[in-house]
Structure 1
Amino acid sequence: MKEFIYQYKLPIIFGGLGLILAILLVSIGFFKTLLLVVLTVLGTMIGFYLEQSGLFRDIFKPRNK
């Protein structure tokens, strides 16, 4: 079973994302789903930028006790 999941990891992930997207389209509509996807992508891009720039590195670094 582990070999199956490892071999078909990307189709399983994108199949799950497609299912979630289809459920959102049916339940809340096209434009609300589109807004949700755009804001999620924008938030992810901002997170990657902040991680690479190190702007908040001091705030979120683990504290040694």
Structure 2
Amino acid sequence: MENIFNQYKWPILIGTAGFILAILFLTVGFLQTMLILILTIAGSVLGFYLQAHGILK
């Protein structure tokens, strides 16, 4: 099973992300989904920035 996951890691991850995105579109709507994605990306960028500069150490 681990060999199959390693061979098809990116298609599995992208497919899962697409599935979650589709569920979000259907349940909360387009604009709310876009807000969730924008805030998640902004939080990730801020986290990488803080880690790279050692601000929280």
Shift of 1:22: 0.1
Q: Which runs of 5+ in 2 are unaligned?
A: none
SS at match of 2:44: helix
Identity of aligned residues (%): 44
Runs of 4+ residues deviating >3 angstroms: none
| More helix per residue | 2
Q: Which runs of 5+ in 1 are unaligned?
A: 58-65
Find the aligned partners of 1:17 and 1:42 in 2 and give their Cα distance: 18
Number of equivalenced pairs: 57
Structure with max Cα Rg: 1
2:14 corresponds to 1:9: no
Which string of whole-angstrom CA distances, capped at 9 and with x for unpartnered residues, describes residues 1-56 of structure 1? Answer: 22111000010011000000000000000000000000000000000000000011
Could you tell me the TM-score, scaled by structure 1's length? 0.85
Could you tell me the TM-score, scaled by structure 2's length? 0.97
SS at match of 2:50: helix
Partner residue in 2 for 1:38:
38
